[in-house]
Amino acid sequence: MPNSISSRVVRLTPPGRGAIASLRIESPDVVGLLAPLFCPAGARPLSAYALDRIVFGTFRLGSHPGEEVVVSRRTPEAVELHCHGGRAAVARIEEALAERGCPAVSWQAWLAERHGHSIVAAARIALAGARTARTAAILLDQHNGALGRAATEIDRWLCAGEAARAAEGLALLLSRAGVGRHLVEPWRVVLAGPPNVGKSSLINALVGYARAIVDPRAGTTRDVVSAATAIEGWPVALSDTAGLRESGRALERAGIELARRRVASADLLLLVFDLSRPWSSEQHALVEAHPRALIVLNKCDLPPRPDSRRPDGPVVSALTGQGLDRLTAAIARHLVGDPPPPGAAVPFTPDQIEALEVAAAAVARGDLEAARGSVRRLSNR
């Protein structure tokens, strides 16, 4: 740990109620900082205990009752303190430390400062929010150097004047930016379509539990209902919206307008239709208005209404589960057409993607030196 360490306390465990909360206290004289605050249960002061020795005692909190804690000196300048996991107990300890010049800092800022390589720090932070094993594996590859090595290789090509190879390498990395953006934040998949075609039942079937209201009456869903799930290992937020149609009722019109805004911001739109109903000009107009949507034909468990005008799409039954495997495969293909292979370099933060975009633009205009500057923001050289 560097000698220039500043005094700070970092909460290592997630906020909220829990059995135990863990804090890391760092200071050039951490024992002296804690001397008036921590009273060991034994007769010896904290300074008398060896590193990594567990010490039980009481943390003094002024007018508040003392908090029972367990303390361990991890390094000469760092102590780990474990206390009751409630918010109030942690906040009082942090306040007492702040009064002695040891402010609380976020674990993200602490990690970013501790790691010299920005990609490693960013990957560790992102791993804490990874929602699936598949996305965590990609982030682990970046933590282990995949993106840094790719940036270093592109930098070598730029140094050698190999603009074409550098441009190709940058294009490959940027082609994976869509996946990288969603390693922590889920893809937004919105279900829309006419009223009463089974959107609520379908989202329940995809998620696996009754998250959305199911009602046979048209216009039941007035709010956007969201549920988190994973499709082929990719994190997805499914949104069930109000039926898209014209309505004279103010409350329903508000729900429909909210649905349209959610549709406009979706990564993927599922247009759901009832296979047992005849195809109409209104349904055709809805398809024409959303040419990139994935068409889903629901209620295949009912007698179908054949119609040559109806577009193709996965045929499913939200009631029986028929066809759901084909639908989830189609969703995954639309979201991630070409998944990165194991060990591939994938940019995953807005700053990384911006640096690559700036570098690619610089290469395109022939400014290889400017491109190197942007690439080195990734390789951290």
Output the pTM of the full model: 0.80
Q: Is the pLDDT of residue 378 over 60?
A: yes
Of 162-166, 243-247, 364-368, minimum mean pLDDT range: 243-247
More confidently predicted of 3 and 181? 181
What is the mean pLDDT of the segment spanning 16-34?
92
Return the domain boundaries, the chain: 8-114, 118-176+344-379, 187-335
What is the mean pLDDT of the segment spanning 343-362?
96
What is the mean pLDDT of the segment spanning 128-149?
95
* Matching fold, domains 8-114 and 187-335: no
CB 1 within 8 A of CB 25: no
pLDDT tens figures, 63-79: 778 899 999 999 999 99
Of 38-42, 183-187, 219-223, 368-372, minimum mean pLDDT range: 219-223
Q: Is the pLDDT of residue 219 over 50?
A: no
**Calpha distance 66→39 (Å, rounded):** 10
Q: Is the pLDDT of residue 116 over 70?
A: no
More confidently predicted of 5 and 93? 93
Q: Is the pLDDT of residue 299 over 80?
A: yes
How much is the mean pLDDT over the chain?
88
Given this structure, which CATH class describes domain 187-335? Answer: alpha beta
What is the mean pLDDT of the segment spanning 295-322?
94
pLDDT tens figures, 227-267: 889 999 999 999 987 655 544 444 445 556 556 666 778 99
pLDDT of residue 3: 45
Of 63-77, 208-222, 325-339, 347-361, minimum mean pLDDT range: 208-222
Name beta bridge partners: 226: 239
Q: Which CATH number is 8-114 given?
A: 3.30.1360.120
Contact residues for 144 (Cβ-Cβ < 8 A; gap 6+): none
What is the mean pLDDT of the segment spanning 134-156?
96
Q: Is the pLDDT of residue 318 over 50?
A: yes
